[in-house]
Amino acid sequence: MISLLKNVNLYNPNPMGIKDVLVAGGKIADIFDVSDNGHHNIPDNWPVEVIDFNGAYLVPGFIDSHAHITGGGGEAGFSTQVPPVSLSEFTQVGVTTVVGLLGTDDTTRSIANLISKVYGLREEGMSAYCWTGGYHYPLTTLMGSAKADITFLEPVIGIGEFAISDHRSSQPTFEEVIKLASEAHVAGLLTGKAGIIHFHLGDGERRLELIERAISETEIPARVFNPTHVNRNKPLFEDSCKLLAHGCYIDITAFPEGTAEPGLEACDAIEIAVKKGLPLDKITVSSDGGGCLPCFDQQGELQHMDFGRASTLLETLQATLRKNIALESILPMFTSNVATLLRLHSKGKIVRNNDADMLVLNNKFEITDVMIKGRWHKRDNTTVVSGTFE
């Protein structure tokens, strides 16, 4: 498929003005200034699909670095295991690349099952990767160690989500944490992959103590330590913001509306970061799609539960824009910042030779079209590609 997307208001994710974008072979072949004739020297015999978007926004596809693609949950019995997430639950809301993981249940779920789901999503047309391990130490792995999984299994890019400051964690020691961080870092050096450890943060009073100590007492680079759910309570978010000065990336969770208490809605956390003048290029946003979002009392008893949905990424973007924060300040948190952290070099930006993963947004910032690697998955508000069993 060769497509010419005409008259798009391009954010790459920086604002570039009205452009024409040529897509060929699943890649962004060229980006043109709008000209009078509009042909851009494209041969007349090329079978080009030409679409005039009349000034609609064209932005990079979302990269969701934290999703339970095989289903999460199970913390209130086997009947509370969340089902696997289907293709369109990601693609129709703008997620063009996803990174899957295991959480609390790294016993009945396995890395083998996780990787097979990654391959399945790839066969259905989207880009997918995964973390190895889960909440607990020793890690759940396929090849006996995290280092081996990252080195020899192409979809595996790091360790995650490894739980700290949470009653569901394995209560890891400092020595165990830095051993895993070292494995992730060295495997990343060997392979060119992300090589990071993606930390689940609970509501425990120790918060980021293990990460802070690792940064100050070891030679492991700060970027290796990547905490998520940092907006789950206000003191944790305040401490997490301090990590940015050391070179850490922090990951805000786009909780479903009304479920963030006692923490911060993702849009509010982003607003605080903008107003404080924090390094926004070190902040990412993920959905926890397919994951269980339980609320426990002081004794660890489940009070109520919800589950994560990839749609919260778009909802967060829209809610943050309503706070009069510029689109170019927000978009990188869903796109280029994630790609940089994860070393996904052909993702996250609309530039020549990158993968053609792009979203078209109308003037209400609703997604009307989704393209993944040059193929339409959603076109003019209609689903074009569905998962095998949808």
Residue 61 contacts residue 93 (beta carbons within 8 Å): no
Q: Is 377 annotated as a binding residue?
A: no
Residues that are catalytic: 288
Q: Is the dihedral of CA 199, 204, 210, 215 positive or negative?
A: positive
Provide the token pair at 245: 């000065």
Residue with tokens 């790091």: 158
Q: Is 198 annotated as a binding residue?
A: no
DSSP state of 209: H
What is the H or E stretch that residue 380 is in? none
List CB contacts of 386: < 8 A, sequence separation 6 or more.
Answer: 87, 88
Other beta carbons less than 10 A from residue 256's beta carbon: 17
For 285-309, the DSSP string reads EE--BT-EEEEE-TTS-EEEEEEB-
Residue with tokens 């923490």: 263
Tell which residue, 112, 284, 87, has the closest CA to residue 196. 284
119/129 Cα distance (integer angstroms)? 9
Q: Is 229 annotated as a binding residue?
A: yes
Q: Is 200 annotated as a binding residue?
A: yes
Other beta carbons less than 10 A from residue 252's beta carbon: 27
- Phi/psi at 209 (5° precision): -55, -45
Residue 14 contacts residue 59 (beta carbons within 8 Å): no
214/321 Cα distance (integer angstroms)? 36
Q: Is the peptide bond before 217 cis (omega within 30 degrees of 0)?
A: no
Q: How many residues does the chain have?
A: 390
List CB contacts of 44: < 8 A, sequence separation 6 or more.
Answer: none
Q: Is 345 annotated as a binding residue?
A: no
299, burial (CB in 10 Å: exposed 0-12, middle 13-18, buried 19+) = exposed
Q: Which residues are documented as binding site for Zn(2+)?
A: 66, 68, 200, 229, 288
Q: What residues are designated binding site?
A: 66, 68, 200, 229, 288
